[in-house]
Amino acid sequence: MNKILVAIDGAQHSDKTLKSAAEMAKDKGSELVILYACSQSAPSENQLNFAEKACGRQFRNLVTGKELPTFSVEDGDGEKSISEYMKAREKLCEMYGTEVLERAAITVKDAGANTVKTRMERGDIVKTILNVANNETADTIVIGNCHRNKVAQFFAGCTAKEVLKKANCKAVIVD
């Protein structure tokens, strides 16, 4: 049996990527692995909106760093503040990732994929996608196209293009 890895981020275009991957899996009789990779970079607007809806404005502000109290190095309060911030970011990743994967599993099953597995991993997005593809022995990686403007792509890069360049298997970009 072939294995297809589909990497999603929960953004609006993820549904299109999921449906394309589900159709491929259905046509080839492949197992479909859905990956949500959570990075340590700043939360996306989708994640922040989710944080606010799930836990309120204060939590949203905490995961962005807006609620961190000011402190001086001498008073030692900084350690506690940073720890709270990191715990909040981890919690957001877990909550958002779980929600994204639950919706994704329903989407692909409704689209006809039979064998579906979900994974949530933390780390650099490109490295995580490639590592999971290797560990799962995926034959194909399906990923959504970069939806940043050209200036943002220049400075931040494009995950899909990096995966395409570095993958040890076939990689498909869904636009």
Residue 165 belongs to what domain range?
A: 3-174
Distance between CA atoms of residues 52 and 19, nearest Å: 28
* Domains identified in the chain, total number: 1
* Residue among 43, 33, 13, 48 nearest 160 (CA): 13
Percent of residues, the chain, with pLDDT higher than 70: 84
Tell me the per-residue pLDDT of 45-85, one tens digit each, with 9 for 90 and over: 888 888 888 888 887 787 777 765 554 455 555 555 667 77
> 78: domain CATH number?
3.40.50.620
More confident residue, 30 or 146: 30
Q: Are 110 and 65 in contact (CB under 8 A)?
A: no
| Res. 141: pLDDT tops 70 | yes
> Cα torsion for 80, 68, 10, 116, to the nearest 10°?
10
